Amino acid sequence: MTDSKTIVVGITGGIAAYKAVGVVRLLVKAGHDVHVVPTEAALRFVGLPTWEAISRNSVTASLYDDVAAVRHVALGQAADLIVVAPATANSLAKLAAGLADDLLGTTVLASRAPLVVAPAMHTEMWSNPATRANVATLRERGVVVVGPGSGALTGTDVGEGRMSEPDEIVAAALRVLEASAAPAVPARDLDGLRVVVSAGGTREPLDPVRFLGNRSSGKQGVAFARAALARGAQVTLVAAHLAGEVDVAGLAVIDVTTASEMALAVESAAEIADVVVMAAAVADYRPASVSETKIKKDAEGDELTLRLVKNPDILAGLAAARRPGQTVVGFAAETAPTRDELLELGRTKATRKGADLLVVNLVGWAAGFGSDDNTVVVLDGAGSVVAESAGSKRAVADAVLDEVVRVRGGGGAGVGGAGEPSPSA
């Protein structure tokens, strides 16, 4: 069991409050000192005795109980972590605005602890621009947003807005707790190393005005580049159509368009690199021929067939050709209905690609691309899980770089005896 920490669980007024009983129970079971702070509205859904029984601590929703103990400040100051589950649209708005008109509001404002929120509301409320803006504000401040998922809502409604399951919320909360225990100043554990990161999505031209592309924003790759720089590395970013400008002091950026251009740029930078991270979404196929002129409907008729040819697999090539002391990290973007199936796809890819580490993440219509957060499982070259990380893309990048440092035997330039091609390469 980990050290016991003080965790405040804020409960706000939504039907998912009944599921939050499970959150409190799991945190208590994990050995933590849990203080529940419900809002008055939350108590309409689940009563005070339940919270006291489950948390094993006294509970009040009022600012005016126990005033001598300055409860509204004391709880916030004592907290190592605050979790708000469920977080209604109203409570997200209050948190974003910094309102402190109840015990939960004052506790959050009086605290320096990390904050995890698990939104729960109807789909319309979740997708309302006001809620989106509040969530974006909270994320910018470093608040970790867990979910919501899709599924049955109150009444007969079904859609996005359903609070994540208690075990997911608790797993995210415990990861935040663990990360907050780490030193705030990044270790210079990549000092003097040369790191190449690919990011974004390649585009394969069809004609002068059209291309085949993908939805990668490049945010995860850019987060890797920033994290590696902060840890002392010299970083080259091979960038394919990033969603935003990258203006980072000290970062060398090479812009590319197609998979072939990316292969050239990455392979040449990799010749002197100690670490290569292939975070880019590389097109697996390109049009067999590129039309010199715009493809015209009149000439093609009702159906247009494209013939595609396979692009070289850059990652597999890098892994096969890696020098002793060089560490190669790949990604596996997968669509899978369950974690087990996701891991199985990851394992197969890990052994096929032969990289030292493979970062597996779920992608889909609503997951992965473009978002500011990511959830990944890191596999070694044989496909065994060596780490898991969830949170901001920067936090995920740092967690993966921790594994890179571990694989290399710890420390910066001059260490790195590991990274010998593994038997699976």
Round to whole Å and give the CA distance between 232 and 229. 5
- 164 sits near ligand CTP (criterion: CB under 6 A): no
Extract long-range pairs of 406-412: CB within 8 Å, 24+ residues apart: 407/327, 407/356, 407/357, 407/380, 408/274, 408/275, 408/325, 408/327, 410/189, 411/189, 411/191, 412/188, 412/189, 412/190, 412/191, 412/192, 412/193, 412/232, 412/233
Nearer Cβ to ligand CTP (12/375): 375
- 313 sits near ligand CTP (criterion: CB under 6 A): yes
Sequence-separated (6 or more) residues with CB below 8 Å from residue 134: 89, 92, 93, 95, 96
Which of these ranges, 57-65, 74-82, 240-248, 309-317, lies near ligand CTP under the rule CB under 6 A? Answer: 309-317
Q: Rule CB under 6 A: which of 271-290 touch ligand CTP?
A: 278, 280, 282, 284
CB of 212 to ligand CTP, least distance (A): 13
Nearer Cβ to ligand CTP (144/282): 282
Q: Are 372 and 422 in contact (CB under 8 A)?
A: no
Which of these ranges, 101-109, 157-165, 167-175, 310-318, lies near ligand CTP under the rule CB under 6 A? Answer: 310-318
- Among residues 221, 311, 322, 328, the alpha carbon closest in space to that of 260 is found at 311
Nearer Cβ to ligand CTP (221/232): 221
Q: Per-residue string for binding with ligand CTP, 321-340, x by CB under 6 A? A: ---------xxxx-------
CB of 333 to ligand CTP, least distance (A): 4
Query: One of 57, 128, 134, 214 is an active-site residue; which one?
Result: 214
Which of these ranges, 186-194, 306-314, 396-404, 417-425, lies near ligand CTP under the rule CB under 6 A? Answer: 306-314
Helix, strand, or coil (residue 118)? strand
Nearer Cβ to ligand CTP (174/407): 407
Q: Which residues pair with 204 in a beta bridge?
A: 212
At 239, the amino acid letter reads A
Q: Rule CB under 6 A: which of 233-262 touch ligand CTP?
A: 259
Q: Residue 305: how many CB atoms within 10 A of its CB? A: 5
- 314 sits near ligand CTP (criterion: CB under 6 A): yes
Verify whether residue 214 is a known catalytic residue: yes
Sequence-separated (6 or more) residues with CB below 8 Å from residue 395: 179, 389
- Please identify every residue annotated as catalytic: 214
Question: Applying CB under 6 A, which residues contact ligand CTP?
Answer: 259, 278, 280, 282, 284, 311, 313-315, 330-333
